[in-house]
């Protein structure tokens, strides 16, 4: 319900020969104001006439789900329903996934769309999107198009209201997607479509029809360079940017040398104008948000990791069958499973065996790219730390580390640089080495490369960023790829000390 001037006439502009709206006396407020019920079509007509009118979702939607929306989530959902093509730049941890789900569900109820395709990173297909759809739109059928090509095709051709697929999966079954009846496409972490020269971008562009709704979501638009805006704008609002990339580059960049370009002073304004229509809420604006948000990211084990993980589980079964399980041997076996999951393990000869960690590393890079401030990465196992730091620095992400081997004096120097200087952007820490007493509020994102088994260490490590002097809302990201990690995180989230339940957890893993 909403009060607007001359509403009875305005709402019938779509049918000028049939101005038949009757306003009951009980709804009349005065000579010029009436209360009427309006639909999404009427709202769009009024918007196109430059008449400000809210989305009917604000007064005609029951906001289903386990949790009621915050004010900024309602505003975001309303904005999306009023724009067929739009950007959502809400910062990480502000709940933009739920906003998009509510907006899509409302449009389905209004009969404006029938099916939605969610395109997102592999790591959040289940842990974020399917999980949130279950929480906020449990009445809708949801499926994940992942696996063999035929399996993806079968799911797309099924009857799910929401189909979730990863970026590369779209290319694999593009023909099925084109014929899948998707009239809404939601692209999460949309910066993966910043380059219009890639096959990924061209495939998506070919799928978008004039009648298709398209929402692109990311908390970090054009974070690396103003040039990143070009591909995004060209997909949502192609008239906002020049036809050719070179022309856009001249608009936003100065050429210093043959290969070096720097942003122009007005590049931010140019990018802002190109990336419209858009909505953005930062964590600081969302005063009704919890101060610490916890996010899970799925990171599938590589084939190499799966092989050794399965072999060790088989060995555990043999031990469980042949001898009594003690807390000590349960802890040793579970520690080995977590080491394999994290990417490096000690052999019986005390040599370090390194595993392929590309899946976990790629998700970590996504998180770093999404973060508005600096990032802390807690790595439980010392032999994984150097491997990770070397790879980050090689990829241009300035990183330093703190482990038990780093002297107290050097730790102080590293902490000071991290807090006061631009670099390093990332600090990789062995949890036990910096879980107490240190202030690291230059970061507002904490990433757990793998879980710790100590509840105290876990809580204290997260508190390094969440303390006096922190000016930003904080996010804790849990990377999980194996069953042992999921079990341990679940216990930590439930405030259960893993050490006290180690034998029960060991048996649970075997079952």
Q: What is the pLDDT of residues 266-296, one digit of tens each?
A: 999 999 999 999 999 987 787 565 578 899 9
pLDDT tens for 300-316 read 998 888 998 888 888 87
Check if the beta carbon of residue 81 is closer than 8 Å to that of residue 55.
yes
pLDDT digits (tens, 9 = 90+) for 250-260: 999 999 888 78
Q: Is residue 87 part of a domain?
A: yes
Claim to verify: residue 308 and residue 252 sit in the same structural domain: no
- Quote the CA–CA distance of 33 and 26 in Å, as a whole number: 12
Confidence of residue 29 (pLDDT cuts 50, 70, 90): very low
Q: Do 264 and 165 share a structural domain?
A: yes
DSSP for residue 27: G
* pLDDT band for position 421 (cuts 50, 70, 90): very high
Instruction: CATH number of the domain at 387, please.
Output: 3.40.50.300
Do 266 and 408 lie in one domain? The reply is no
- Residue 24's pLDDT is 43
Residues contacting 124, CB < 8 A, separation 6+:
188, 297, 298
Q: Report the percentage of the chain scoring pLDDT > 70.
A: 87
Q: With bands split at pLDDT 50, 70 and 90, how would you rate the model's confidence at 436? A: low
Domain that holds residue 483: 292-299+357-496
Phi, psi of 249 (to 5 degrees): -60, -40
Instruction: Categorize the per-residue pLDDT at 18 as very low, low, confident or very high, splitting at 50, 70 and 90.
Output: very low
pLDDT band per the 50, 70, 90 thresholds, residue 468: low
- Considering the domain architecture, whether residues 114 and 205 belong to the same structural domain is answered as yes
- Report yes or no on 234 lying in a domain: yes
> Per the domain annotation, does 413 fall within a domain?
yes
| Phi-psi map region of 347: left, alpha, beta (phi>0 left; psi -120 to 50 alpha) | beta
Residue 80: pLDDT over 50: yes
Q: Is residue 509 assigned to a domain?
A: no
Asked if residue 257 and residue 123 are part of one domain, the reply reads: yes
pLDDT of residue 7: 35
pLDDT value at position 5? 35
Co-location of 265 and 339 in the same domain: no
What are the respective helix, strand and coil percentages of the chain, to the nearest 5?
A: 45, 15, 40
How many other CB atoms are there within 10 angstroms of residue 312's CB atom?
A: 17
Q: Answer whether residue 511 is part of any domain.
A: no
Whether 437 and 335 share a structural domain: no
- Residues 419, 371, single domain; the answer is yes
**Do residues 102 and 205 both lie within one domain?**
yes
The percentage of the chain sitting over the pLDDT mark of 90, rounded to a whole number, equals: 51
Number of domains comprising the chain: 4
**Torsion angle, CA of 320/326/327/330, rounded to 10 degrees?**
-20
CB 257 within 8 A of CB 238: no
Three-state secondary-structure class, residue 177: helix
The last residue of one of the domains, among 316, 335, 353, is 353
Distance (Å, whole) CA 300 – CA 307: 13
Mean pLDDT of 179-187: 97
Choose among 335, 367, 366, 342: nearest CA to 356.
Answer: 342
Q: Could you tell me if 43 and 148 lie in one domain?
A: no
Q: Tell me: do 329 and 433 sit in the same domain.
A: no
- Domain assignment of residue 62, yes or no: no
The model's pLDDT over 134-179, given as tens digits with 9 standing for 90+, comes to 999 999 999 999 999 999 999 999 999 999 999 999 999 999 999 9
Residue 56 resides in a domain: no
Q: Is residue 318 part of a domain?
A: yes
Q: Is 235 left (phi over 0), alpha (psi -120 to 50) or beta?
A: alpha
- The mean per-residue pLDDT over the stretch 41-47 comes to 84
Question: How far from 464 is each of 104, 281, 437, CA to CA, in Å?
Answer: 38, 25, 8
How many residues are present in the chain? 511
Q: Which two tokens stand for residue 504?
A: 């029960």
| Whether 133 and 213 share a structural domain | yes
The angle formed by the CA atoms of residues 225, 221 and 64, to the nearest 5 degrees, is: 170
CATH number, residue 246: 3.40.50.10810
- Indicate whether 11 pLDDT > 50: no
């Amino acid at each position: 319900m909403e009060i607007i001037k001359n509403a009875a006439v305005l709402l019938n502009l779509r049918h000028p020969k049939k101005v038949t709206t009757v306003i009951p006396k009980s709804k009349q407020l005065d000579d010029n104001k009436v209360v009427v019920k309006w639909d999404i079509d009427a709202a769009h007509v009024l918007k196109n006439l430059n008449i400000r009118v809210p989305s009917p979702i604000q007064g005609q939607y029951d906001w289903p789900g386990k949790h009621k929306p915050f004010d900024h989530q309602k505003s975001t959902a309303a904005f999306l329903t009023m724009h067929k093509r739009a950007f959502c730049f809400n910062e990480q941890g502000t709940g933009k996934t739920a906003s998009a789900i509510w907006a899509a569900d409302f449009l389905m109820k209004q009969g404006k769309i029938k099916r939605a395709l969610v395109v997102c990173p592999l790591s959040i297909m289940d842990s974020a999107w399917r999980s949130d759809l279950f929480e906020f739109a449990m009445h809708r059928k949801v499926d994940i198009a992942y696996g063999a090509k035929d399996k993806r095709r079968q799911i797309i051709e099924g009857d799910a209201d929401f189909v979730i697929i990863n970026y590369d999966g779209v290319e694999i079954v593009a023909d099925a997607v084109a014929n899948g009846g998707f009239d809404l496409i939601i692209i999460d972490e949309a910066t993966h479509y910043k380059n219009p020269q890639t096959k990924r971008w061209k495939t998506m562009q070919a799928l978008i029809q004039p009648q298709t709704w398209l929402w692109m979501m990311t908390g970090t638009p054009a974070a690396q360079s103003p040039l990143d805006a070009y591909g995004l704008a060209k997909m949502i609002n192609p008239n906002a940017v020049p036809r050719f990339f070179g022309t856009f580059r001249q608009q936003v960049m100065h050429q210093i040398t043959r290969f070096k370009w720097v942003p122009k002073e007005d590049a931010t304004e140019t990018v802002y104008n190109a990336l419209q229509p858009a909505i953005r809420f930062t964590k600081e604006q969302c005063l009704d948000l919890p101060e610490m948000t916890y996010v899970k990211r799925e990171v599938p084990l590589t084939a190499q990791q799966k092989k050794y993980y399965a072999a060790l589980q088989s060995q555990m079964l043999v031990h469980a069958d042949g001898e009594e399980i003690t807390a000590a041997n349960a802890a040793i076996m579970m520690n080995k499973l977590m080491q394999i999951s994290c990417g490096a393990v000690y052999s019986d000869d005390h040599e370090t065996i390194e595993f392929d960690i590309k899946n976990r590393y790629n998700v970590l890079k996504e998180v770093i790219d999404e973060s508005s401030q600096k990032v802390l990465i807690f790595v439980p196992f010392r032999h994984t730390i150097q491997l990770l730091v070397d790879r980050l620095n090689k990829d241009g992400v300035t990183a330093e580390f703190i482990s038990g081997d780093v002297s107290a004096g050097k730790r102080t120097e590293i902490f000071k640089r991290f807090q006061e200087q631009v670099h390093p952007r990332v600090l990789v820490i062995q949890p036990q080495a910096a879980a107490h007493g240190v202030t690291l509020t230059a970061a507002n994102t904490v990433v757990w490369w793998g879980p710790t088994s100590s509840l105290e260490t876990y809580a204290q490590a997260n508190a390094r960023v969440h303390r006096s002097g922190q000016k930003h809302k904080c996010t804790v990201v849990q990377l999980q790829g194996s069953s042992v990690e999921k079990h341990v995180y679940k216990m930590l989230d439930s405030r259960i000390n893993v050490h006290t339940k180690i034998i029960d957890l060991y048996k649970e893993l075997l079952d």
